[in-house]
Amino acid sequence: MKNERIDILDGVRAYAILIIMGFHLWQQSWMQYVLPSDMLSFLGIRDSSLVWVPRTGYMFVDVLLLLSAFCLFLPYARQMTDPAAPAPDSLLLYTKKRLCRILPPYYLCILIYAVFFVRPGMYITNAAFWKDLVTHLTFTHTFFPDTYMSTQFPGALWTLCIEMQFYLLFPLIARVFRRFPFAAWLTMEVIAEVFIAFFARTPDGGADSMMINQLPAFFGVFGNGMLGAYLYCILKKKTAYAPQKALSLVASLLSLAALFGTALMLNKGLNAAEQAQRWQIDYRFAFSLLVCACMLLLSFSHKDLRWFFSCKFVRFIAAVSYNLYIWHTAILLKLKEYRIPYYPDAPENAWAWPQSASSESWYRTWQYGYVFIFWVASVLIAAVLTYAFEKPVYRGLMKLKMKKK
């Protein structure tokens, strides 16, 4: 089995990133995304609100983690189903790729923040400043409430912390998964559910905001991604000689049903939940499993449907997605801090300013301007950092030889 590119994965990554960005943008702008819908007036519906999409957007962090595990395990899965397939990277090459890919853009962000935006005076003590900095440099900031919940560095960086922790364990997990795929998958699910039951859920029916995003709580998501890669390779082999038109038609219909089910789960479930974080951990496994099914079905769907997940636009967003993710929250907050676009001072006792100023005459102008500038600035900055820094540095570092031990 050749290591052919799975084109729809770019779209999954791109749309997940855009929806996550939309969630953080909604938090800062309160844009409601209400569209006129006169066509449904006979049902008593005068408008159609899509605000549930950004409001549930944080769930798509799980999609990025699922996708990461899928792509990491795919070379192993291909060789499991076809011994003639190219061998996975050696441990040395795997480590080099991960470090060269992740560290330069991440450390650039930390450096820029440490030089221009973060000062020891922002902390209670100098020791607290150094703790925040060192834990971010070592990808351990999710272990401490002050460096995770109250950090002065971009809040979205916690996901990179989880990724790096998983990267450390992945070679061992992959070795076991390769021999006992279903038993290893089940073990990962059990670890996640036990951790969530004992540490992430609270007796009052809520959830611990810190524990829900620790690595063990995501083992089920990572396990689903690895199992998805294995099932993809099995399906690819089993359907190699099947009638392709019939296969693409069935896969397209099922993938549309799975996408609709995913939207329904978020709209009717998470969006209506009394305690969103509790719903998040209660349905994390089911949500990631459903998204994984979408990915598998889309991979075999009709080319016209796959186009929405593989066109030039989504390939571009996927290419710059790492820097988009790292920098988008910083751009959001700095635009508001520097009043770009301009908004007046908050009146006395005002809260969540200026997004709460809906009665002011300038509000809509500010809101639409803020949203527009955010998207343009985020994509431009991510593109520059990707093509002028990330990719050249990665290529340069990969050319360096590492001594085998």
Q: Are 396 and 104 in contact (CB under 8 A)?
A: no
Number of domains in the chain: 1
Q: Evaluate if residue 365 carries a pLDDT over 60.
A: yes
* Predicted model pTM: 0.94
d(CA 211, CA 188): 17
> For residue 216, is it within any domain?
yes
Contacts of 152 (CB under 8 A, 6+ apart): 113, 117, 118, 122, 123, 132
> For residue 241, is it within any domain?
yes
- Residue 282 sits in which domain range? 8-118+153-333
Q: What is the pLDDT of residue 405?
A: 47
Q: What is the pLDDT of residue 32?
A: 84
Reading the block at residue 359, the tokens are 């009665």
d(CA 237, CA 2): 11
> For residue 308, is it within any domain?
yes
Residue count of the chain, please give it: 405
Most confident of 131-135, 239-243, 344-348, 399-403: 131-135
> For residue 345, is it within any domain?
no
> For residue 82, is it within any domain?
yes
Least trusted range by pLDDT, from 24-33, 91-100, 129-138, 386-395: 24-33
> For residue 238, is it within any domain?
yes
Q: Are 294 and 312 in contact (CB under 8 A)?
A: no
How large is the average pLDDT for residues 191-207? 96
pLDDT tens digits, one per residue of 324-338 = 999 999 999 999 999
> For residue 385, is it within any domain?
no
